Chain A
Amino acid sequence: MNESFVSAVDIDDFALWDKIRDKRFPASFDIEITARCNNACGHCYINLPADDPDARAKELTVAEISRIADKAVSMGTIWCLITGGEPLLRPDFADIYLSLKRKGLLVSVFTNAACIKPEHISLFKKYPPRDIEVTVYGVTKETYEVVTRIPGSFSAFMKGLTALTDNGIRVRLKAMAIRSNVHELPQISDFCRERTKDYFRFDPMLHLRFDRDEKRNEMIRAERLAPEEITAIEKADPKRFHALMDNCDKYIFRNIPARGSDRIFNCGIGQWSFTVGYNGFLRICPALWHPDCMYDLRKGPLEEAWEDFIPQVLGKKTQRREYIETCGRCPIINLCLWCPAHAYLETGKLDLPVESFCKVAHARAAALKENIPDRP
């Protein structure tokens, strides 16, 4: 017999990945346990009011979440991300969290930290999450509350974040780079890096509302930065910009295909993960809200969604020349926010190019090429 029976492995080094590299496998799922939020950020795509009765009525129950997670675990899922809306708004958050943990899932939580209560701290101390990701909207009361549009939200956020970090709970910080806080981005970045040394990211790409609410979409468009502002902040972050340059061949293809692809879904969605919406609809990626691309898990089983429904959606093709001749053969598509999900949110169609995305992608490509002169 072998003398070493048990070994600790970091999940990233788990030998399983070699086995699943070339096949579809539901390694993880996100679950949005609510679409409601205590904040009212203008840039957010999913933040219905905290007291919205319709949104609350549609939310999956603990038993429904548990049933879906049981199926996922039986299919081999390892990770689960609890997100929202603001997940801590749910009074049964602890039941949901523990139910997922007790199935042997590695559970992460996205929160704005403002709803953290002592009982959450006790829960996370006893049953640690894989990590908690908190978005930092600003590091001054003025900026933070311009973004969240809720008076008092900055002090609630600071109190919650301090409680998490003071109690040794693993927190990762991130930011959105938007019109309302871009002037404070260097300070936000310093604030985050001081607290989470191994990890910080910011996202300057805003996609539109899940419910296609035009009034709210106007607010999101108003928060978007101009292409040159996006490239400027990316260049100002050496770590991020070097990562872009190091992976340049992934972002700018050397060869442009003579003929465009008629396949709409060319990204990696549906291969290793899925999203469960607050209303019980499975989505193939968090942003894909097209009604033909969602599967009601209240009516059918997860296995059917994973095995039959998702491959069927991913096989969708288009005859639309505007797509085939542009996005379908674009060498910088990986620098672009364009994907069928975002195209649908912008245009109502899965296969229409989006001009504003093109402009950002070309600006990013130009910034990269400036720094890598040998690139065509």
Chain B
Amino acid sequence: METEIRLESRYRPTEDVVAREVMGKILIVPLTSGIGDMEDEIYTLNESGRRIWDRLAKGHSVRTLIESLSSDFEAEAGEIERDVTGLMKELIKRRMIEEAPDA
């Protein structure tokens, strides 16, 4: 079933991964089993992915995140929303982020 991304929600990194920065690159290192196919596998985010990750980790809601990225990239909010939710679905599928409980 397709994961639904709720725009008013906040999402956060799960406890199954550790994200760290090494020489300007964000590395996502699997902590628990079943994240990657190989124990040597790590994940990197491109510049756009990194902006999304940073803001999610800071506790921005998806809507706030989309608005700020629209402003950064001077792009249509609809286009940004598709990209953001696309990445988020991929991260959820890989157990890298999860919906945070309401504060």
Contact = CB atoms under 8 A, between A and B. Distances in A.
Interface of A: 1-12, 14-16, 19-20, 73, 76, 78, 101-106, 125-131, 170
Given A1-B75, A1-B83, A16-B23, A8 B18 contact: no
B91 to A, nearest CB: 7
A130 B31 CA distance: 10
B48 A10 contact: no
A101 B30 CA distance: 9
B42 A11 contact: yes
B1 interface: no
Contacts of B79: 1
Nearest to B88: A5
A35 B20 CA distance: 31
Contact of B49 (A6, A11, A101): A6
B32 A5 contact: no
Contacts of B44: 6-7, 9, 14-15
A1 B80 contact: yes
Nearest to B69: A1
Given A5-B87, A127-B31, A76 B46 contact: no
A78 B83 contact: no
A5 B42 contact: no
Q: Across the A-B interface, give the 6 residue pairs with the lowest CB-CB distance, nearest first.
A: A5-B49, A104-B18, A104-B20, A104-B29, A5-B87, A1-B48
A9 B42 contact: yes
Contacts of A76: 22-23
B33 A126 contact: yes
Interface in B60-103: 69, 73, 75, 79-80, 83, 86-87, 90-91, 94
B40 interface: yes
Contacts of A129: 39
17 contacts: A1-B48, A1-B73, A2-B49, A5-B46, A6-B94, A8-B43, A9-B41, A14-B42, A14-B44, A16-B22, A78-B22, A78-B27, A101-B18, A102-B18, A104-B18, A130-B40, A170-B39
Interface residues of B, number: 39
Most buried by A among B23, B40, B83, B86: B40
Contacts of B22: 16, 76, 78
Nearest to B17: A104
Contacts of A15: 25, 44
Contacts of A170: 39
B48 A12 contact: no
A127 B20 CA distance: 18
A170 B36 CA distance: 14
A7 B43 contact: yes
B36 A8 contact: yes
A225 to B, nearest CB: 33
Contacts of B45: 5-6
A5 B87 CA distance: 7
Contacts of A2: 46-49
Contacts of B28: 6
B24 to A, nearest CB: 9
Nearest to B94: A6
Given A5-B45, A6-B43, 15 more contacts: A1-B69, A3-B86, A5-B46, A5-B83, A6-B94, A8-B36, A8-B41, A8-B43, A11-B40, A20-B23, A102-B31, A104-B27, A104-B31, A127-B33, A129-B39
A5 B18 CA distance: 17
Contacts of A16: 22-23, 25
A3 B29 contact: no
Most buried by B among A6, A7, A127: A6
